Protein backbone atom coordinates (compact mmCIF):
# COMPACT_ATOMS: atom_id res chain seq x y z
CA UNK A 1 0.00 0.00 0.00
CA UNK A 2 1.44 3.33 -0.94
CA UNK A 3 0.84 6.46 1.07
CA UNK A 4 -0.44 9.38 -1.01
CA UNK A 5 2.21 11.98 -1.59
CA UNK A 6 0.03 14.76 -0.15
CA UNK A 7 -0.24 13.01 3.21
CA UNK A 8 3.50 12.41 3.33
CA UNK A 9 4.15 16.08 2.62
CA UNK A 10 1.70 17.14 5.30
CA UNK A 11 3.42 14.85 7.80
CA UNK A 12 6.80 16.32 6.93
CA UNK A 13 5.52 19.86 7.34
CA UNK A 14 3.98 18.97 10.69
CA UNK A 15 7.20 17.33 11.87
CA UNK A 16 9.23 20.35 10.78
CA UNK A 17 6.84 22.72 12.52
CA UNK A 18 6.94 20.64 15.67
CA UNK A 19 10.76 20.70 15.70
CA UNK A 20 10.74 24.48 15.28
CA UNK A 21 8.34 24.95 18.18
CA UNK A 22 10.45 22.63 20.32
CA UNK A 23 13.66 24.48 19.43
CA UNK A 24 12.13 27.76 20.42
CA UNK A 25 11.64 26.52 23.95
CA UNK A 26 15.40 25.99 24.41
CA UNK A 27 17.13 29.33 24.85
CA UNK A 28 20.42 29.96 23.07
CA UNK A 29 23.59 30.43 25.08
CA UNK A 30 23.65 34.19 24.59
CA UNK A 31 19.98 34.47 25.57
CA UNK A 32 20.62 32.49 28.72
CA UNK A 33 23.72 34.54 29.62
CA UNK A 34 21.76 37.74 28.98
CA UNK A 35 18.84 36.67 31.16
CA UNK A 36 21.10 35.45 33.97
CA UNK A 37 23.10 38.67 33.88
CA UNK A 38 20.00 40.83 33.96
CA UNK A 39 18.48 38.86 36.82
CA UNK A 40 21.82 38.54 38.66
CA UNK A 41 22.34 42.30 38.71
CA UNK A 42 19.07 42.74 40.59
CA UNK A 43 19.29 39.68 42.83
CA UNK A 44 22.70 38.11 43.55
CA UNK A 45 21.03 34.79 44.37
CA UNK A 46 18.64 33.63 41.67
CA UNK A 47 15.71 31.37 42.52
CA UNK A 48 15.20 28.34 40.33
CA UNK A 49 12.31 25.93 40.02
CA UNK A 50 12.69 22.61 38.20
CA UNK A 51 12.26 24.10 34.72
CA UNK A 52 14.71 26.92 35.29
CA UNK A 53 17.19 24.53 36.85
CA UNK A 54 17.12 22.36 33.72
CA UNK A 55 17.29 25.39 31.45
CA UNK A 56 20.12 27.32 33.11
CA UNK A 57 22.10 24.76 35.10
CA UNK A 58 21.78 21.58 33.09
CA UNK A 59 21.39 23.25 29.69
CA UNK A 60 24.33 23.00 27.30
CA UNK A 61 26.46 24.56 26.00
CA UNK A 62 27.43 26.74 28.94
CA UNK A 63 30.35 29.12 29.36
CA UNK A 64 29.52 30.13 32.93
CA UNK A 65 29.76 28.38 36.30
CA UNK A 66 26.76 27.92 38.52
CA UNK A 67 26.83 27.48 42.27
CA UNK A 68 23.61 25.92 43.46
CA UNK A 69 22.29 25.23 46.92
CA UNK A 70 19.13 25.42 48.93
CA UNK A 71 18.36 27.94 51.66
CA UNK A 72 21.27 29.32 53.60
CA UNK A 73 22.23 32.77 54.92
CA UNK A 74 25.97 32.54 54.47
CA UNK A 75 25.37 31.64 50.83
CA UNK A 76 23.61 34.97 50.38
CA UNK A 77 26.65 36.77 51.81
CA UNK A 78 29.06 35.04 49.46
CA UNK A 79 26.81 35.79 46.50
CA UNK A 80 26.57 39.42 47.60
CA UNK A 81 30.29 39.78 47.96
CA UNK A 82 30.70 38.39 44.42
CA UNK A 83 28.00 40.68 43.07
CA UNK A 84 29.69 43.78 44.51
CA UNK A 85 33.29 42.73 43.87
CA UNK A 86 35.38 44.40 41.19
CA UNK A 87 35.83 41.14 39.33
CA UNK A 88 32.07 40.63 38.88
CA UNK A 89 31.26 39.22 35.45
CA UNK A 90 28.92 36.85 33.65
CA UNK A 91 31.25 33.91 34.28
CA UNK A 92 29.58 32.91 37.51
CA UNK A 93 26.06 32.90 38.92
CA UNK A 94 24.53 31.80 42.20
CA UNK A 95 21.18 30.09 42.36
CA UNK A 96 18.93 28.72 45.02
CA UNK A 97 16.60 25.80 44.49
CA UNK A 98 13.64 25.86 46.78
CA UNK A 99 12.14 22.49 47.68
CA UNK A 100 8.58 23.66 47.09
CA UNK A 101 9.48 25.05 43.68
CA UNK A 102 11.72 22.25 42.49
CA UNK A 103 11.12 18.95 44.31
CA UNK A 104 12.22 17.02 41.20
CA UNK A 105 15.63 18.73 41.31
CA UNK A 106 16.09 17.54 44.88
CA UNK A 107 15.37 14.01 43.80
CA UNK A 108 17.67 14.27 40.81
CA UNK A 109 20.59 15.58 42.87
CA UNK A 110 19.79 13.33 45.82
CA UNK A 111 19.66 16.28 48.17
CA UNK A 112 18.52 15.78 51.72
CA UNK A 113 17.82 18.26 54.48
CA UNK A 114 21.44 19.31 55.17
CA UNK A 115 22.67 22.26 53.15
CA UNK A 116 24.30 21.14 49.93
CA UNK A 117 26.45 23.40 47.81
CA UNK A 118 27.13 22.27 44.27
CA UNK A 119 29.25 23.74 41.54
CA UNK A 120 28.24 23.16 37.94
CA UNK A 121 31.35 23.99 35.93
CA UNK A 122 31.18 25.82 32.63
CA UNK A 123 32.54 22.71 30.90
CA UNK A 124 31.87 19.08 31.73
CA UNK A 125 29.95 17.41 34.52
CA UNK A 126 30.32 18.14 38.24
CA UNK A 127 32.93 15.93 39.89
CA UNK A 128 33.03 14.83 43.51
CA UNK A 129 35.00 17.94 44.55
CA UNK A 130 32.26 20.10 43.01
CA UNK A 131 30.14 19.39 46.06
CA UNK A 132 31.29 21.37 49.08
CA UNK A 133 32.46 18.97 51.77
CA UNK A 134 30.66 20.61 54.67
CA UNK A 135 31.63 17.76 57.01
CA UNK A 136 35.25 18.76 56.59
CA UNK A 137 35.25 22.55 56.08
CA UNK A 138 31.87 23.60 57.47
CA UNK A 139 29.76 26.18 55.72
CA UNK A 140 30.93 29.52 57.04
CA UNK A 141 30.91 32.19 54.35
CA UNK A 142 34.73 32.14 54.19
CA UNK A 143 34.78 28.39 53.52
CA UNK A 144 32.15 28.71 50.81
CA UNK A 145 34.04 31.61 49.23
CA UNK A 146 37.35 29.74 49.28
CA UNK A 147 35.76 26.68 47.75
CA UNK A 148 34.02 28.70 45.03
CA UNK A 149 37.33 30.42 44.23
CA UNK A 150 39.08 27.05 43.98
CA UNK A 151 36.43 25.46 41.79
CA UNK A 152 35.93 28.39 39.42
CA UNK A 153 39.43 29.87 39.31
CA UNK A 154 37.84 33.22 40.10
CA UNK A 155 39.93 34.96 42.73
CA UNK A 156 37.96 38.21 42.76
CA UNK A 157 36.09 37.72 45.94
CA UNK A 158 38.65 36.09 48.16
CA UNK A 159 39.87 39.68 48.54
CA UNK A 160 36.44 41.01 49.31
CA UNK A 161 36.06 38.31 51.92
CA UNK A 162 39.32 38.98 53.73
CA UNK A 163 38.64 42.67 54.30
CA UNK A 164 37.67 43.50 57.85
CA UNK A 165 34.39 45.01 56.70
CA UNK A 166 33.17 41.71 55.27
CA UNK A 167 34.19 39.94 58.44
CA UNK A 168 32.10 42.39 60.47
CA UNK A 169 29.22 42.03 58.06
CA UNK A 170 29.18 38.25 58.41
CA UNK A 171 29.92 37.85 62.09
CA UNK A 172 28.17 40.93 63.43
CA UNK A 173 30.65 41.50 66.30
CA UNK A 174 29.87 44.05 69.05
CA UNK A 175 30.88 47.65 68.41
CA UNK A 176 33.13 47.47 71.50
CA UNK A 177 33.08 45.51 74.72
CA UNK A 178 33.17 45.99 78.47
CA UNK A 179 35.80 43.82 80.11
CA UNK A 180 35.22 41.94 83.35
CA UNK A 181 37.30 44.58 85.16
CA UNK A 182 34.81 47.22 83.97
CA UNK A 183 37.12 48.79 81.40
CA UNK A 184 36.17 49.25 77.78
CA UNK A 185 37.97 47.13 75.19
CA UNK A 186 38.36 48.71 71.78
CA UNK A 187 40.64 45.99 70.45
CA UNK A 188 39.80 42.30 70.61
CA UNK A 189 42.51 40.41 72.46
CA UNK A 190 42.96 37.69 69.86
CA UNK A 191 43.58 37.45 66.16
CA UNK A 192 40.43 35.31 65.91
CA UNK A 193 38.17 38.24 66.64
CA UNK A 194 37.68 41.97 66.21
CA UNK A 195 35.26 44.69 67.25
CA UNK A 196 33.64 47.03 64.76
CA UNK A 197 35.35 50.05 66.30
CA UNK A 198 38.66 48.23 65.83
CA UNK A 199 38.16 48.31 62.05
CA UNK A 200 37.84 52.10 62.23
CA UNK A 201 40.83 52.48 64.54
CA UNK A 202 43.06 50.41 62.25
CA UNK A 203 41.78 52.34 59.22
CA UNK A 204 42.68 55.64 60.92
CA UNK A 205 46.15 54.39 61.89
CA UNK A 206 46.76 53.41 58.28
CA UNK A 207 45.45 56.77 57.09
CA UNK A 208 47.85 58.55 59.46
CA UNK A 209 50.80 56.53 58.12
CA UNK A 210 49.79 57.41 54.55
CA UNK A 211 49.46 61.09 55.48
CA UNK A 212 53.01 60.98 56.87
CA UNK A 213 54.27 59.50 53.62
CA UNK A 214 52.51 62.19 51.59
CA UNK A 215 54.09 64.91 53.75
CA UNK A 216 57.54 63.40 53.22
CA UNK A 217 57.13 63.26 49.44
CA UNK A 218 55.84 66.85 49.55
CA UNK A 219 59.03 67.77 51.43
CA UNK A 220 61.00 66.65 48.38
CA UNK A 221 59.08 69.15 46.25
CA UNK A 222 61.74 71.72 45.34
CA UNK A 223 59.31 74.58 44.66
CA UNK A 224 58.62 75.21 48.36
CA UNK A 225 61.16 77.06 50.52
CA UNK A 226 63.61 75.11 52.63
CA UNK A 227 62.03 75.86 56.02
CA UNK A 228 58.61 74.61 54.90
CA UNK A 229 60.15 71.48 53.40
CA UNK A 230 62.03 70.73 56.62
CA UNK A 231 58.83 71.02 58.68
CA UNK A 232 56.97 68.72 56.26
CA UNK A 233 59.77 66.16 56.47
CA UNK A 234 59.89 66.13 60.27
CA UNK A 235 56.11 65.95 60.76
CA UNK A 236 55.84 63.27 58.05
CA UNK A 237 58.58 61.16 59.55
CA UNK A 238 57.04 61.53 63.01
CA UNK A 239 53.59 60.46 61.78
CA UNK A 240 54.93 57.39 59.97
CA UNK A 241 57.16 56.30 62.87
CA UNK A 242 54.54 56.81 65.58
CA UNK A 243 51.47 55.41 63.89
CA UNK A 244 53.35 52.50 62.35
CA UNK A 245 54.63 51.60 65.84
CA UNK A 246 51.11 51.86 67.19
CA UNK A 247 49.70 49.50 64.52
CA UNK A 248 52.52 47.09 65.14
CA UNK A 249 51.87 47.12 68.85
CA UNK A 250 48.14 46.47 68.31
CA UNK A 251 49.07 43.60 66.03
CA UNK A 252 51.42 42.24 68.72
CA UNK A 253 48.67 42.39 71.31
CA UNK A 254 46.45 40.25 69.07
CA UNK A 255 48.97 37.84 67.56
CA UNK A 256 50.49 36.53 70.74
CA UNK A 257 54.12 35.60 70.29
CA UNK A 258 54.79 37.99 67.39
CA UNK A 259 58.39 39.04 68.14
CA UNK A 260 58.84 42.44 66.46
CA UNK A 261 58.07 45.89 67.78
CA UNK A 262 59.16 49.45 67.04
CA UNK A 263 59.26 52.40 69.50
CA UNK A 264 56.21 51.17 71.47
CA UNK A 265 55.96 47.81 73.20
Ligand X SMILES: *[C@@H]1O[C@H](CO)[C@@H](O)[C@H](O)[C@H]1NC(C)=O
E strand map for the chain: 45-48, 65-69, 92-97, 117-120, 177-178, 184-185
Near ligand X by CB under 6 A, which window of 27-35, 38-46, 152-160, 236-244?
27-35
Instruction: State in angstroms the smallest separation of the CB of 234 from ligand X.
Output: 53
Instruction: State in angstroms the smallest separation of the CB of 64 from ligand X.
Output: 6
Among 2, 30, 112, 113, binds ligand X (CB under 6 A): 30
Near ligand X by CB under 6 A, which window of 6-14, 26-34, 80-88, 156-164?
26-34
Instruction: State in angstroms the smallest separation of the CB of 112 from ligand X.
Output: 33
**33 scored as a contact of ligand X (CB under 6 A):** yes
**Under 8 Å between Cβ of 120 and 57:** yes
Residue among 87 and 173 whose Cβ is closer to ligand X: 87
Contacts with ligand X: how many residues (CB under 6 A)?
7
**29 scored as a contact of ligand X (CB under 6 A):** yes
Distances (CA, A) of 37 to 32, 49, 61, 239, 248: 8, 18, 17, 47, 44
Q: From 193, 150, 131, 140, select the one nearest 170 (Cα to Cα).
A: 140
Q: Write the binding mask 79 to 118 for ligand X: x where contact by CB under 6 A, - elsewhere.
A: -----------xx---------------------------
**Under 8 Å between Cβ of 227 and 209:** no
Strand order in the sheet with 117-120: 45-48, 92-97, 65-69, 117-120
Near ligand X by CB under 6 A, which window of 29-37, 41-49, 179-187, 221-229?
29-37
**37 scored as a contact of ligand X (CB under 6 A):** no
Instruction: Give the dihedral of Cα atoms 251, 254, 255, 260; nearest 10 deg.
Output: 40
Residue among 34 and 191 whose Cβ is closer to ligand X: 34
Instruction: State in angstroms the smallest separation of the CB of 158 from ligand X.
Output: 19
**Under 8 Å between Cβ of 164 and 194:** yes
**Under 8 Å between Cβ of 214 and 232:** no
For residue 30, whether the previous peptide bond is cis, meaning omega lies within 30 degrees of 0, is no
Residue among 152 and 247 whose Cβ is closer to ligand X: 152
Instruction: State in angstroms the smallest separation of the CB of 248 from ligand X.
Output: 43
Among positions 41-70, residues that touch ligand X (CB under 6 A) are: 63-64
C-alpha–C-alpha distance, residues 110 and 106, integer Å? 6
Q: How far is CA 263 from the centre of its chain?
A: 38
**27 scored as a contact of ligand X (CB under 6 A):** no
CB-based closest residue to ligand X: 30
Instruction: State in angstroms the smallest separation of the CB of 56 from ligand X.
Output: 13
**Under 8 Å between Cβ of 80 and 44:** yes
C-alpha–C-alpha distance, residues 263 and 245, integer Å? 6
Residue among 33 and 78 whose Cβ is closer to ligand X: 33
Binding positions for ligand X, rule: CB under 6 A:
29-30, 33, 63-64, 90-91
Amino acid sequence: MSVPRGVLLLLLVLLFGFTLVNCKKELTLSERVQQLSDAGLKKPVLRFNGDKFRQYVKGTPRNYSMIVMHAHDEFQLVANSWRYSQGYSNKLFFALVDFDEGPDVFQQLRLNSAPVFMHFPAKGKPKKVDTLDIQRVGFAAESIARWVAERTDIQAFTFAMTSGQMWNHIRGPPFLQKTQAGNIAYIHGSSQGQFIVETYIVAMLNAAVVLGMILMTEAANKRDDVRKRRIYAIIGLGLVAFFFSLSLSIFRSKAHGYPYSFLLK
